[in-house]
Amino acid sequence: MKNYYKTAIILSFFGLWLTSFFSIENQIFTGFSLILTFGILHGGNDIMIAKNILLQKRDFSFIQILSFYIGIISICSFLFYLVPSLILFLFILVSGYHFGEQQLRFLNKDKNKIIIEGIQLLHGLLILFFLFEFHSKQVRDIIFDITSINITPNSITYSLYSILIVFSLGYFYLLVKNKNLIKILFKELFFLLVFVIIFKVSSLIWGFTIYFILWHSLPSIFDQITFLYGDYSKLNFIKYIKAAALYWFASLIGLAVFYFFLNDIKHFNALFFVFLAAITFPHVLVILFMQLKIKKTE
């Protein structure tokens, strides 16, 4: 993991270079394929992680954990049908926090927990809204397909500016209060610049794929393997893949079910993000508890 982000930068720009050979249609197909493999895979061992955390408490059985996990997905799917605008809003907030928490997981929450978590939320939202801003028309079309609400281009732009201003204040606070973290905080700002370039140059799905796979899913998989097996190795990676295979297969079936019952959604992009939202909510909870347990043992 020490040199992983150097590799991620190289692969990110290699991915951009590939766009000169891929049509938009091929970028979308390849992007969805990668998200359906490595992207879905990084949530494939949520049940095992939850079991590792919760089964130490006798009040929880494996069946209860599994039922709770499936229940959250089912409720989110149902609510997306009833109140899509509210769930979409919550999905963006939760995803923003999840992305920011993964990027800035080195921050110590023992002091000023609310401020730190707020900065993590803003960091993730900034990533999302940079992506939204550079592909505003497509994003607004997807939002309309899901919610039947038309939003203006200025809504995304003003939201981005607002997030950027508050985030800058929070980051300045971190730099002042944590001088020992100055180097790594500036490195994260450099990564944000890399994301901006990726999102600006690439298509919506391809840009999201590069970030989601290289900068979120794979680092998360490394963390999960270390949590579950004690350290990262090729053997433990294979164990992780085998353990996640059933969840991965079930997720593909779930997507097919979504497509069958929600075929009134005009664009597959919209359907795909609804599906991601449904499986994101329980995943975020599991990873949050995992990170809390890791912090306690450090």
Asked whether residue 231 is domain-assigned, the answer is yes
Give the pLDDT band (50/70/90) at residue 118.
very high
Cα dihedral 143, 71, 74, 283 sign: positive
Q: Give the residue ranges of DSSP H helices in 178-267.
A: 182-201, 204-210, 218-229, 234-261
Q: Print the domain residue range for 127.
A: 4-12+37-297
Of the pLDDT bands very low, low, confident and very high (cuts 50, 70, 90), residue 208 is very high
In-domain check, residue 24 = no
| Mean pLDDT computed over 25-48 | 78
Judge whether 225 lies within some domain: yes
For residues 117 and 119, what is the distance between their CA atoms, to the nearest angstrom?
5
Percent of the chain with pLDDT over 90: 27
Residue 25 lies in a domain: no
Q: Are residues 222 and 4 in contact, defined by beta-carbon separation less than 8 angstroms? A: yes
pLDDT at residue 186 is higher than 80: yes
Cα–Cα separations (whole angstroms), residue 176 to 9, 63, 118: 28, 47, 17
Confidence of residue 265 (pLDDT cuts 50, 70, 90): very low
For the record, the structure tokens of 286 come out as: 């599991």
| Top-confidence residue, 263 or 76 | 76
Indicate whether 121 pLDDT > 80. yes
User: Do the domain assignments include residue 205?
Assistant: yes
Residue of higher predicted confidence among 169 and 38: 169
Instruction: Let me know: does 259 contact 275? Beta carbons within 8 Å.
Output: no
The model's pTM is: 0.85
Give the mean model confidence (pLDDT) for residues 171-199. Answer: 90
The stretch 253-257 carries a mean pLDDT of: 68
Least confident of 13-22, 232-241, 245-254: 245-254
In a domain, 175, yes or no: yes
58-85 tens-digit pLDDT: 556 666 666 777 777 777 777 777 888 8
From CA 173, how far away is CA 175, in angstroms rounded?
6
Give the number of domains in the chain: 1
Of 82 and 208, the one with more pLDDT: 208
Average pLDDT of the segment spanning 167-187:
88
Structure-model confidence comparison of residues 283 and 235, the more confident one: 235
Mean pLDDT within 131-157: 90
**pLDDT surpassing 90 at residue 136:** yes
Residue 47 has pLDDT above 90, yes or no: no
Range with the lowest mean pLDDT among 27-31, 103-107, 108-112, 120-124?
108-112
Which of 122-126, 178-182, 215-219, 255-259 has the least mean pLDDT?
255-259
For residue 31, being part of any structural domain is answered with no
Most confident of the following: 27-36, 119-128, 277-286: 119-128
203 in a structural domain: yes
DSSP-derived letter for residue 60 is: -
What b/e sequence results for 124-146 when a residue is b if at least 16 CB atoms lie within 10 Å of its CB, and e otherwise? bbbbbbbbbbbbbeebbbbbebb
